[in-house]
Structure 1
C-alpha cells in the first residue's frame, strides 16, 4: 500500500476547512497545511487535524504557495485539495481502494474535478487534473492564477471525483493578477490569453475577452482544447453583445480544431432556437443527446449539454412543431436529471392532456 501526504494552501477558510478535512483525514497518512495569512480561525481549525501547520506569506503567486506546500510532504505520494473541496462517500471508497492497489511505478493519477453542481446534484462543470503525484518526481506548479502542475511520465486516469463546493466566489481576484502581469510587461502565452479571456468574460468585459480569445486562437502553440473552448466562449461574448452572426461564426470555428463538442452543438441549436427555426434547432439538439461522455477528456466538460438541457430544449422545439408526443418524451428525459425543476413539471402538466 502506498502512503499519501495531503498538501493544502489556505487563507481564511474557517467556514469550509473542517468539512474538507473530515472527508480525507482517515485516508491520507499525513496532513500538511500551509497558511498564507489567515485572520480568522483557519489555523486553529487546522491544528485540530494535524500538527503540521506551516506559514508562508502570500505574494499573489498561487504556484509559489502550492510548491511550498509540496516541500513539506514526506510520504510516497502527494494529494492536494482546496479547502472548499470535498470527497463524496463513493469517491472515498474508490480512493481508499486506489491507495491499497496502486502500482508504485505510477507517477501520477488523474481524477475528475467536479467544479460545479446544480441543486439536484448534477455535475455542471467537470475536467481532469493530475491529483495524486509521486513525491520523488518533484513536479512543480507553474503559473500565477490558473496554475497547473507540470507532470510527465507514467500517468493513469481514474474515475475518482474531487467535488468543489464553493461558498463564495473571489470576484476579480484572478483578473487583477492578469492585469498586474500586463502592467509588468510579462509575455503572455496561449494559456495566459485563454484564462485571461475567461476572467474578462466572467467579469463582463466581453469586447476585451474576445480580443484575448482571438490571440489564443491565432497562436500555433497551445493546447487544442483551450482553442476549442476559446471559440465557444468567444461565441458567448458575441451573444451577450447581441452580435448573432459573429456568435455563430465563432462557435463553428471550433470545428477547425477537432470533432464537434456537445457544447458547440447545443449553442448552434440555441442560435436557431432564438430565431424560432424549430426544425433546425431540433436537428442540432438531437445530435447533442446522442453524444456519449468521453472519460479520457481532460478539458472542460459541461454534462448538462449531453443530458437534461438538449432534451428540455427539444421539448420546446417539438411543442412548437405540434409534435406533442416527442415534446413529452424529451421532457420526461430531462425530468430524469431534474425531477423537481418547475419548468419541467410545468411542461409535464401542459403536455399530458395533449397526448
Structure 2
C-alpha cells in the first residue's frame, strides 16, 4: 500500500485483509498524522518515500519491496466485507500460476465518486510479481506479450470520506506545465474529474489547456471532451459569446449529452423553461454521455422534470397543457426507473 494521512480509514482497510495475505508492506509518502503508528500494529515493513507528485513512482517503489508470488494493491479507503474476504481466500487457494493479473469489481459506495460511470467496474488489483515469458504459436512463434487476466467476482467496497480531486488536479496541472500535455488516458481522466467535481477555479485553471486541445486536435473524441469542459467553464463565468461559439460548432456534428445538458442549464438559468426542456430532452434521449453518465440520465431528466413543471405553471392553451403534462409524466417515470 502507498499511504499518506490515512489515520481515519487505514485500520478499517487492514482489518479486512490482514489475515488474507502473507506480508504487509506500507509505503508512507509523508504522513503527518498517526498513519504510521496505525500501520505498525500490522507490520514492521513500513517504508518512507519522498512524494514526487507521481503515484506510479510510489507504486513502483512499493512493489519493489514485495517478495511473495502475487501482490495485492489496495488503497486505504477500500474494504473487503466478509463475503468477499471468503471469495478472496478461495481465489488464493485456486489461483492458477499462469494467471498474471486478477481483476476485481470496484464499487464506490459513497457520493465521493470522481471518475466511475457505473455502479461497478473491473479494475486490476492482484498482480503476479515476476512474469515468465512464454512462446506461443506453432509456427512463426512469438513471445506472448499480453498478460493472462482473470476477471474474478470479488467486490471491493471503495469507501472514501472525501474527494481527492484537488490533489489530482494539482498533479494534472503540474504534468501539463512540465511536459506540455497529457496522455490520452490522463487527458480523459482529467476531463472526467473536472466535469464531475471541478469548481469554477479548477475549470478556469484547466480552460487554456482544453481550449488548445479544442483548437488544434483532429480527433473528434478529444475535441468533444474539451468542448464539454469549455462550455461548463464559459457558462459558469457568464461568457455567452465563447459559450455559444463552442456550442454552435458542436451542433454541426452529433453533440454529447454534456453539451446538451449545458445548454439546458444555460436556458434554465435564463428563465426559459421551454428551451431548457428541449435541451434536457436531447441530453436524455438524443445523445450519449462522454464524461459523466449522469449528464444523459438522471441529471438530464431532473432538469427536464423541473423545466416541464415551470412550463405548466405558465399560462398555456389546453392543448399545450395536455402536451406538457404528458411529457412531465413520462419524464418522471423515466427518472423513477433510473432511481430504482
| TM-score, scaled relative to structure 2 | 0.67
Residue 14 (structure 2) aligned to one of 11, 21, 36 = 21
Q: SS at 2:18's partner residue?
A: coil
**Deviation digits for residues 142-197 of structure 1, max 9, x if unmatched?**
xxxxxxxxx953445567554443334568545555565577x5443445666777
- Residue 294 of structure 2: aligned partner: 304
2:137 maps to 1:108: no
- Residue 327 of structure 1: aligned partner: 328
Instruction: Tell me if the contact between 2:10 and 2:76 (Cα under 8 Å) persists in the aligned partners.
Output: yes
CA distance in 1, matches of 2:152, 2:223: 25
Instruction: Tell me if the contact between 2:7 and 2:33 (Cα under 8 Å) persists in the aligned partners.
Output: yes
What's the CA shift for 1:238? 1.6
- Residue 23 of structure 2: aligned partner: 30
2:210 maps to 1:213: yes
Instruction: Tell me if the contact between 1:248 and 1:268 (Cα under 8 Å) persists in the aligned partners.
Output: no
CA distance in 2, matches of 1:157, 1:247: 43
- Structure 2 stretches of 5 or more lacking a match? 133-144, 313-320
Q: SS at 1:130's partner residue?
A: strand
Q: Select between 277-286 and 14-23 the one with higher mean Cα deviation.
A: 277-286
- Residue 147 of structure 2: aligned partner: 153
- Residue 281 of structure 1: aligned partner: 279
Q: SS at 1:78's partner residue?
A: strand
Residue 32 (structure 2) aligned to one of 34, 39, 59 = 39
- Residue 234 of structure 2: aligned partner: 238
What's the CA shift for 1:55? 2.7
2:303 maps to 1:313: yes
Describe the shift of the 1:211–1:18 C-alpha distance in structure 2 as closer, same or farther (beyond 3 A): same
Describe the shift of the 1:215–1:38 C-alpha distance in structure 2 as closer, same or farther (beyond 3 A): same
CA distance in 2, matches of 1:23, 1:232: 40
Describe the shift of the 1:171–1:266 C-alpha distance in structure 2 as closer, same or farther (beyond 3 A): closer
CA distance in 1, matches of 2:251, 2:155: 29
- Residue 2 of structure 2: aligned partner: 9
- Which structure shows the bigger proportion of residues in helix conformation? 2
Instruction: Tell me if the contact between 1:271 and 1:281 (Cα under 8 Å) persists in the aligned partners.
Output: no
- Which structure shows the bigger proportion of residues in strand conformation? 1
CA distance in 2, matches of 1:251, 1:99: 52
- Structure 1 stretches of 5 or more lacking a match? 1-7, 139-150, 294-299, 340-355
What's the CA shift for 1:317? 3.3
- Residue 74 of structure 1: aligned partner: 67
Instruction: Tell me if the contact between 1:194 and 1:230 (Cα under 8 Å) persists in the aligned partners.
Output: no
CA distance in 2, matches of 1:114, 1:39: 29
Describe the shift of the 1:26–1:190 C-alpha distance in structure 2 as closer, same or farther (beyond 3 A): same
- Residue 225 of structure 2: aligned partner: 229
What's the CA shift for 1:209? 1.6
- Residue 83 of structure 1: aligned partner: 76
Instruction: Tell me if the contact between 2:266 and 2:276 (Cα under 8 Å) persists in the aligned partners.
Output: no
CA distance in 2, matches of 1:29, 1:226: 44
Instruction: Tell me if the contact between 1:194 and 1:216 (Cα under 8 Å) persists in the aligned partners.
Output: no
Q: SS at 2:116's partner residue?
A: strand
Describe the shift of the 1:52–1:317 C-alpha distance in structure 2 as closer, same or farther (beyond 3 A): same
Q: SS at 1:132's partner residue?
A: strand
Q: SS at 1:69's partner residue?
A: helix
- Residue 129 of structure 2: aligned partner: 135
Which of the pair has more CA radius of gyration? 2
